[in-house]
């Protein structure tokens, strides 16, 4: 089936007799559940409510929604209505939300009540948002509750779309820290489910899936939504922070069979269980990792605990999900594995020529889930999406046995807990502090071998920099995970003759 992706991922299960199957279960509060049948009905009513509210086809709707039952209702309901949902990272700061609200020109905003306060200051400044819907028991003036929005709405038939029609956007940070709207089409959702979801992850109808990556990430959207939904499986949703304690509790109480993690969390879980001398009991049969390279030792220790390997892979928001991965029964730690069936990759030098085995080149990828482009960023779109090939900005080396080994970024960006961090953005936040004259940020590996920001600061004369206060300042300004874990005060920064910071020199001393 082509066309509207909601028909295939949601309504098909009702037509094929799986309507009573549980699609989502909340691993918090009263453990609310929603069946495939109820999701089909509620998403159709959501589409009707959008029409009734005057939201028109192709208008955008921001989703600042925690992992909770309303997330899939809104996402699939929007697709049924022809409205373009934009799930956003729930950890950003007010100023970044303000920029995205303006950039996207979204007409509607769906927000979990826990997050309302953060976006509230951006609303009076926004001329585009006509509807603010709060998921919670009450709504402030000028907004409605989700229940009020849905009440009495008639179910609407899904709009007919073509495969290439834009279905949803995700925002990805760029090298300047400026978020870019990545436009994805309806057919890409099924493309990733048919390739990585079916042929590497191998989700089955009897699986219970738990992804610590939230649904607003491309990684989480596939793991926790489209892959399980492609086969009528159940996903566990958790609205809080995935800490070693909360994840251990979910493993014990909800007993997932498929676990989708990120290296920072795998490392923290392994440490916790090592120091406690015990681990939870769960029937895990498949574990995957992405976001940043998985340290070999973490993979080996996890295997020793569970008897199950972690399949490390690499994907991107632009390709929607993982395109290079270790495979079931064929895991080599320290590598990103081989191309996922359905994807082709190349390694090229700066002139665009293919490089050979053992040489480092930029990774290019081609496959059916490539994004349609960036919103309103023609230059960026042209330099990233080159015909059928998408540039990843990652440097890789091909081993003689055909596996790909990560060698770093072509620019200065790096990932923390699987999320891109732009040194530039962190530096800008630091220099906006009254005590800071100049700042340079580089990646430094922590004791687990995972990259975190380190800041080198030149202070204004007569100022004393309190590292903890500076870290808190950055957290408040640009997001909780981007703050520098180390702060070093220096007399000056290494620069080129034209005044550009030489980060490579700082990396050597970090």
DSSP codes of every residue in 52-105: HTT--TT-EEEEE--SSTHHHHHHHHHHHHT-EEEE--TT--HHHHHHHHHHHT
Residue nearest to ligand 3SK (CB): 315
Minimum CB distance to ligand 3SK, residue 195 (Å): 12
418 binds ligand 3SK (CB under 6 A): yes
H or E element at residue 191: helix 186-192
User: Which of 87, 179, 256, 291 forms a contact with ligand 3SK (CB under 6 A)?
Assistant: 291
CB proximity list for 464: less than 8 A, separation 6 or greater:
435
Rounded to whole angstroms, the Cα distance separating 94 from 354 reads 43
* Least distance between ligand 3SK and beta carbon 494 (Å): 30
- The single-letter DSSP state of residue 378 is H
Helices (H), 212-367: 218-221, 227-231, 244-254, 263-276, 296-306
Does residue number 390 form part of the binding site for ligand 3SK (CB under 6 A)?
no
SS (H, E, C) 442-486: EEEECCCCCEEEEEEEEECCCCCCCHHHHHHHHHHHHCCCCCCCE
Instruction: Pick out residues in 198-237 that bind ligand 3SK (CB under 6 A).
Output: 218-219
Neighbour order of strands in the sheet with 258-261:
33-35, 22-26, 234-237, 208-211, 258-261, 286-289, 310-315, 322-325, 338-339
**Nearest distance from C-beta of residue 377 to ligand 3SK, angstroms:** 18
Residue 315 touches ligand 3SK, criterion: CB under 6 A: yes
Residue with Cβ nearer ligand 3SK (45 or 321): 321
Work out whether 337 is an interface residue with ligand 3SK (CB under 6 A).
Answer: no
Q: How far is the CB of 141 from ligand 3SK (least distance, A)?
A: 38
Check binding of 370 to ligand 3SK (CB under 6 A): no
C-alpha span between 392 and 120 (Å, rounded): 35
- Candidates 63, 250, 322, 345; binder of ligand 3SK (CB under 6 A) is 322
CB of residue 221 vs ligand 3SK: minimum separation in angstroms? 8
The correct pick among 45, 321, 444, 477 for binding ligand 3SK (CB under 6 A) is 321
Q: Which stretch binds ligand 3SK (CB under 6 A): 267-275, 310-318, 361-369, 494-502?
A: 310-318
Q: Which residue, 299 or 315, is less far from ligand 3SK as judged by CB?
A: 315
Q: Contact between 263 and ligand 3SK (CB under 6 A)?
A: no
Q: How many residues line the site for ligand 3SK (CB under 6 A)? A: 11
Task: From 53-61, 140-148, 178-186, 316-324, give the range in contact with ligand 3SK by CB under 6 A.
Answer: 316-324
Other Cβ atoms within 10 Å of 378 Cβ, number: 9
Indicate if the alpha-carbon torsion angle 105, 106, 107, 112 is positive or negative.
negative
Specify the DSSP class assigned to residue 121: G
Question: Minimum distance between the CB of residue 218 and ligand 3SK, rounded to whole angstroms?
Answer: 4
Residues in the site for ligand 3SK, rule: CB under 6 A?
218-219, 290-291, 314-317, 321-322, 418
């Amino acid at each position: 089936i082509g066309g509207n992706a909601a028909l295939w991922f949601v309504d098909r299960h009702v037509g094929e007799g799986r309507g009573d199957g549980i699609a989502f279960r909340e691993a918090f509060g009263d453990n609310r559940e929603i069946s495939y049948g109820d999701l089909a009905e509620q998403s159709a009513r959501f589409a009707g409510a959008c029409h009734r509210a005057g939201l028109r086809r192709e208008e955008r709707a921001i989703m600042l929604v925690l992992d909770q039952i309303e997330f899939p209702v809104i996402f699939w309901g929007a697709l049924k209505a022809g409205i373009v949902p934009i799930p956003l990272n729930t950890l950003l700061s007010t100023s970044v939300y303000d920029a995205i609200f303006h950039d996207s020109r979204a007409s509607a905003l769906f927000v979990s009540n826990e997050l309302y306060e953060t976006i509230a200051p951006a609303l009076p400044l926004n001329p585009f948002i006509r509807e603010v819907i709060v998921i919670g028991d009450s709504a402030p003036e000028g907004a409605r509750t989700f229940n009020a929005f849905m009440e009495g709405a008639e179910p609407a038939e899904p709009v007919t779309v073509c495969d290439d029609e834009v279905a949803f956007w995700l925002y990805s940070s760029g090298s300047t820290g400026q978020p870019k709207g990545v436009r994805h089409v309806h057919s890409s959702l099924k493309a990733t489910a048919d390739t990585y979801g079916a042929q590497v992850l191998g989700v089955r109808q009897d699986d219970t899936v738990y992804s610590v990556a939230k649904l607003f990430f491309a990684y989480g959207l596939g793991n926790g939504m489209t892959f399980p939904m492609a086969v009528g499986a159940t996903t566990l949703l958790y609205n809080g922070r995935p800490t070693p304690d909360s994840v251990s509790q979910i493993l014990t109480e909800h007993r997932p069979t498929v676990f989708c993690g990120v290296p920072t969390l795998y490392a923290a879980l392994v440490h916790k269980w090592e120091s406690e001398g015990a681990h939870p009991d769960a029937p895990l049969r498949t574990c995957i990792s992405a976001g940043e390279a998985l340290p070999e030792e973490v993979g080996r220790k996890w295997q020793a605990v569970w008897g199950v390997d972690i399949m490390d892979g690499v994907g991107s928001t632009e390709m929607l999900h993982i395109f290079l991965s270790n495979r079931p029964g064929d895991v080599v730690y320290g590598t990103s594995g081989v191309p996922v069936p359905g994807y082709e990759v190349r390694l090229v030098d700066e002139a665009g020529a293919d490089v050979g085995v053992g040489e480092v080149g930029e990774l290019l990828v081609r496959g059916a889930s490539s994004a349609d482009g960036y919103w309103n960023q023609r230059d960026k779109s042209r330099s990233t999406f080159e015909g059928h090939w998408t540039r990843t900005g990652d440097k890789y080396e091909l081993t003689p046995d055909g596996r790909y080994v990560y060698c770093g970024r072509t620019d200065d960006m790096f990932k923390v807990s699987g999320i891109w961090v732009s040194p530039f953005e962190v530096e800008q936040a630091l220099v906006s502090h009254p005590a800071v004259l100049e700042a340079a940020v580089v990646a430094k590996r922590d004791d687990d071998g995972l990259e975190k920001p380190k800041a080198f600061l030149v202070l204004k004369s007569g100022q004393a920099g309190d590292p903890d206060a500076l870290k808190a300042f950055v957290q408040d300004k640009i997001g909780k995970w981007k703050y520098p874990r180390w702060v070093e005060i220096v007399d000056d920064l290494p620069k080129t003759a034209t005044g550009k910071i030489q980060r490579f020199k700082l990396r050597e001393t970090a």
